[in-house]
A and B are shown apart, each in its own frame.
Chain A
Amino acid sequence: MSAGVDLDSVSMDFGTFRAVDNVAVNIQPGEFFSFLGPSGCGKTTILRMISGFIDPTKGMVRIGGRDMKGQRPNQRPTALIFQNLALFPLMPVWENIAFGLEVRGVDKIKRRARAEELLRLVDLPDAGDKMVSQLSGGQKQRVAIARALAVEPSVMLLDEPLSALDLKLRQHMRAELRAIQKRTGVTFIYITHDQGEALAMSDRVGVMSQGKLQQVANPRDIYNNPANGFVASFVGENNVFAGEVKGQEGNLARFVTPGGTFTARLGPGVAPGAKARLFLRPEHARLLADPGAANSIPVEVTDVAFEGNFISIHARDAGGQVLVAEARNDGSSSIPQPGERRHFAFDGANAVILTGDTAAKDVDE
């Protein structure tokens, strides 16, 4: 029993600060939807509006087609998993999970049975009588999920629930969350500033910046076809060239920069003649021994970092700009040494010209 969530042009003002600015998105029943953005972009505010802790200043939140205005969190068919989980430390695990049922007047034997059932679902049997403080981080995570599932919500809201876990566990829980979502069919709305999480788990991702929804698309399109400079720079690494669009060349645009002239795809809303930026993913860049036919600039290799599955090569062009190319660690390309002179080249179809602010990367995680 899952429901869709319809954000109908919602805005939220705190005093003079507009935390959420005219966000409109239609989340489908049973969808795994992520709001991705740096801290302070308004994604948590959106979550609090859906769960009912705050009402939007403007616009409407509809869950399952019903207007939620004035409905308190305890009246909405949502369950929120808090960033710090907010488990009740004075109750044993099973009472935590059964709390929502206790509220609904389910008798104790049934509550206990349901709690055990959910504990098995989240792969944590026999933990019912433990206290929360006796559990590990990942186990607490599972209890929080079970507690939220116990009330059979139509929509599950998750506020960066994995951010406190270490990397290994986080990757494991990603898969776990995804599996639980598929098993239960509940709509998941997931808040994160971790692009890897958002891309790996979601059916669709909404990228946010400064209260505005920048792009809503499936993870592949978010990465491959970013709508603007913010999305391109917030999700994944880039080589960025500032310049000007000057004419067509086949189905690509010609882009003039101080360092040279390139061809690239025109991003949405970028007109010929506009000042814009060219974005190129490091994995699409190659370092050739000889100048390429097009899209090629001479560089000097400055640093080679071995990352395991790939090798990251930093190089500097004539203007002093640092460029990054990535090579797969499969022996298919020759890895240059620092100080070597190469040609930084790329295929114009892999580069995209966009306007809009670039994101200052969130460095706290």
Chain B
Amino acid sequence: MTDLLNRYGALLTTVFILLTGFWLLILIVLPNVYLFEHSFKPYLPVAEIGGPKDVYSFDNYLTFFRSPIHISVFVWTVVYSAVVTFICFLMAYPLAYYLSKVSARALLPTIFLLLFIPLWVSEVLRSFAWFIILALKGPLNASLLGLGIIEDPVRWITGFRGVIIGLVYTYVLFMLFPLYNAIASLDSNQIEAAEDLGAPWWRIHWRVILPHAKPGIASGSVMVFMLSAGSILVPTLLASTNSRWFTEIIQQWMFESQDWNTGSAYAFLLLILCTVFVSAVMRIFRVKLSDIAK
């Protein structure tokens, strides 16, 4: 604080603090507090708001626990978010290893640029693109048929398949970069030392590289999991008739039923339950929050 004052003077420091405070308070804290408060109130006709029925209760939260369908949607959302996270890890780890330890330094900027370019396109457009690619008569099936790999066109967008593909595509970079950073920080001599001691490649990964990359894996996984579970665009666009995502239920409460109170309760439930799930997984893999912050 004194450092900030010395460096920028009283006026600028005040501006910085006010801007940060504004951002935190108006854009993050207040909306959440508002929703949090409303999640404990009943959904009432306008005339009855403030009346005798307008009291705090857990009813909105209990609605969720009384609805087996919603619970099952939540469970599947968590399960498939975990699947997405795992697939992202499987895809990102070899690439992260290649980028940080194998590829020529001079190639890195080009490869990173190629990885980033898709991020410049809006998520909506990218999801639509996948909708087209995965369509029954879309380019993917056409190429696979043309190459003779499949006999009949595959219905890609069925069950959670489309959602998984879309989410993996959208969020895989959130796994790649923490992993890349983690592996890049490993002293290459350790890999060579393990090889020199006779270790085959898989054991080098298992005993030396993966343990070192654990914090990166953890932060990448937390990000991909939370983003997937909270994603609304991809599940809406690439959903099939039998794939429902928990965020879609929140959206229904908010926009179709106009019941913001229950919607808020569901949104907080998603946040709380996902946090509990993530903490539990972190405990199982013995990852500390402080490791991730690195």
Binds A, one of B105-113, B167-175, B203-211: B203-211
Binds B, one of A74-82, A188-196, A284-292, A323-331: A74-82
Are A80 and B199 neighbours in the complex by a CB distance under 8 Å? no
Specify which chain A residues have a CB less than 8 angstroms from the CB of B193 in the assembled complex.
80, 82, 86-88
Please tell me if B256 contacts chain A, counting CB pairs below 8 Å: no
Q: For residues 47 through 100 of chain A, which have their beta carbon under 8 Å from a beta carbon of chain B? A: 51-53, 72-75, 78-80, 82, 84, 86-88, 90-91, 99-100
Are A103 and B192 neighbours in the complex by a CB distance under 8 Å? no
Are A80 and B198 neighbours in the complex by a CB distance under 8 Å? no
Specify which chain B residues have a CB less than 8 angstroms from the CB of A147 in the assembled complex.
197
**In the complex the two chains form, what is the Cα distance from A80 to B208 in whole Å?**
17
**In the complex the two chains form, what is the Cα distance from A104 to B197 in whole Å?**
10
Please tell me if B70 contacts chain A, counting CB pairs below 8 Å: no
Q: Given the interface contacts A99-B207, A103-B203, does A86 sit within 8 Å of B189 by beta carbon?
A: yes
Please tell me if A304 contacts chain B, counting CB pairs below 8 Å: no
Return the contact of B199 from the options A52, A90, A103, A148 (Cβ within 8 A): A103
Please tell me if B195 contacts chain A, counting CB pairs below 8 Å: yes
- Bin chain B's interface residue count: 10 to 19
Return the contact of B194 from the options A51, A99, A104 (Cβ within 8 A): A99
* B203 nearest CB neighbor, chain A only: A103
Are B192 and A72 neighbours in the complex by a CB distance under 8 Å? no
Please tell me if A151 contacts chain B, counting CB pairs below 8 Å: yes
Q: Given the interface contacts A88-B208, A90-B212, does A100 sit within 8 Å of B197 by beta carbon?
A: yes
Q: Given the interface contacts A88-B208, A90-B211, A90-B212, does A99 sit within 8 Å of B199 by beta carbon?
A: yes
Specify which chain B residues have a CB less than 8 angstroms from the CB of A80 in the assembled complex.
192-193, 196
In this complex, the member of B194, B198, B203 whose beta carbon has the largest number of chain A beta carbons within 10 angstroms is B198
Are A82 and B195 neighbours in the complex by a CB distance under 8 Å? no
**In the complex the two chains form, what is the Cα distance from A80 to B193 in whole Å?**
7
Q: Given the interface contacts A53-B192, A99-B207, A103-B203, does A86 sit within 8 Å of B197 by beta carbon?
A: no
**In the complex the two chains form, what is the Cα distance from A147 to B193 in whole Å?**
10
**In the complex the two chains form, what is the Cα distance from A72 to B211 in whole Å?**
24
Return the contact of A84 from the options B189, B194, B195, B196 (Cβ within 8 A): B189
**In the complex the two chains form, what is the Cα distance from A100 to B187 in whole Å?**
19
Specify which chain A residues have a CB less than 8 angstroms from the CB of B200 in the assembled complex.
74, 103
**In the complex the two chains form, what is the Cα distance from A73 to B223 in whole Å?**
38
Please tell me if B190 contacts chain A, counting CB pairs below 8 Å: yes
**In the complex the two chains form, what is the Cα distance from A80 to B197 in whole Å?**
8
- 11 A-B pairs in the complex with CB atoms less than 8 angstroms apart: A53-B192, A73-B192, A78-B196, A79-B196, A84-B187, A88-B194, A90-B211, A102-B207, A103-B199, A104-B198, A147-B197
Q: Which B residues lie at the A interface, using CB under 8 A?
A: 187, 189-190, 192-200, 203, 207-208, 211-212
- Further 17 A-B residue pairs, CB within 8 A, beyond A74-B197, A86-B189: A51-B196, A79-B196, A80-B196, A82-B193, A84-B187, A86-B192, A86-B193, A88-B194, A88-B207, A90-B211, A99-B197, A100-B197, A102-B207, A103-B197, A103-B198, A103-B199, A147-B197
